[in-house]
Amino acid sequence: MNTLYGEKLPIAEGRTAEIFDWEPGTILKLYRDWCPVDWAEYEAGVARLIYNAGVNSPAVKDLVELNGRSGIVYERVAGVSMLSEMNAHPWADIMRTRLLLIIGPKGTQNSISPIIKLFIWLYYQTYFRRIQALIPDLRREQNCWLPVVAAARLKENILPERAALIKTVRAGLS
């Protein structure tokens, strides 16, 4: 569902937000109306930390509110989008599947029967062996993509998975 703000249609959209060309040199990430305000505040804080640490990333210019929706104004940067990069390389999708198969069942505690957990583990083993046969560079690429998809999964705020996801992100940064 595209939203129109003045004469502006979104240039991109996802599950939680729409992206608009904004003032010269900036873009606006406008969260959907069902997203809590603290999501924008949290993302802006993380983005500022990343930018201030010297990572090549867009700077946060401002937090805004439009028609009850929270938004972040970012510096517009030239280059390939993360989505384009992910579409060009299947690693991110493969690593997300791997992450869900490994961490997901651990986060459920006792709500999944041991037989189902065993089935998930066997499926994961088969899946990963098959992917490794198809993609020889998988081990090297997994080291790059696994922390990225783990960090993205943290945003989904699934508390039973949180500790394992943070551990995965930290391992990827060291």
Q: Which of 118, 84, 120, 114 is nearest to 101 (CA)?
A: 120
Tokens of 112: 């999944």
Beta carbons of 141 and 89 less than 8 angstroms apart = yes
Beta carbons of 55 and 49 less than 8 angstroms apart = no
Q: Could you give phi then psi for residue 81, rounded to 5 degrees?
A: -70, 155
pTM above 0.75, yes or no: no
User: From the CB of residue 117, how many other CB atoms can be counted at a distance below 10 Å?
Assistant: 13
- Got the DSSP string for 69-130? EEEEEEE---S--HHHHHHH-THHHHHHHHHHHHHHHHHTTTSS-HHHHHHHHHHHHHHHHH
- The C-alpha atoms of residue 131 and residue 120 are separated, in whole angstroms, by 16
- The C-alpha atoms of residue 142 and residue 81 are separated, in whole angstroms, by 20
Tokens 């991109």 locate to 12
* Per-residue pLDDT tens listing for the chain (174 residues): 445 556 678 998 888 899 999 999 999 999 999 999 899 998 898 888 878 877 778 999 999 999 899 999 999 988 877 667 666 766 677 777 777 777 776 655 566 777 877 888 888 888 888 887 887 777 777 777 778 788 878 777 777 888 888 888 888 777
All domains in the chain, ordered by first residue: 12-75 (3.30.200.20), 82-173 (no CATH)
CA 16 to chain centre: 11
> Strands 17-21 and 12-13, how do they pair?
antiparallel
Distances in Å between the Cα of 156 and the Cα atoms of 27, 39, 61, 106 are 23, 10, 24, 16
Q: Could you give phi then psi for residue 30, rounded to 5 degrees?
A: -110, 110
The Cα angle at residue 153 between residues 36 and 11, in degrees rounded to 5: 65
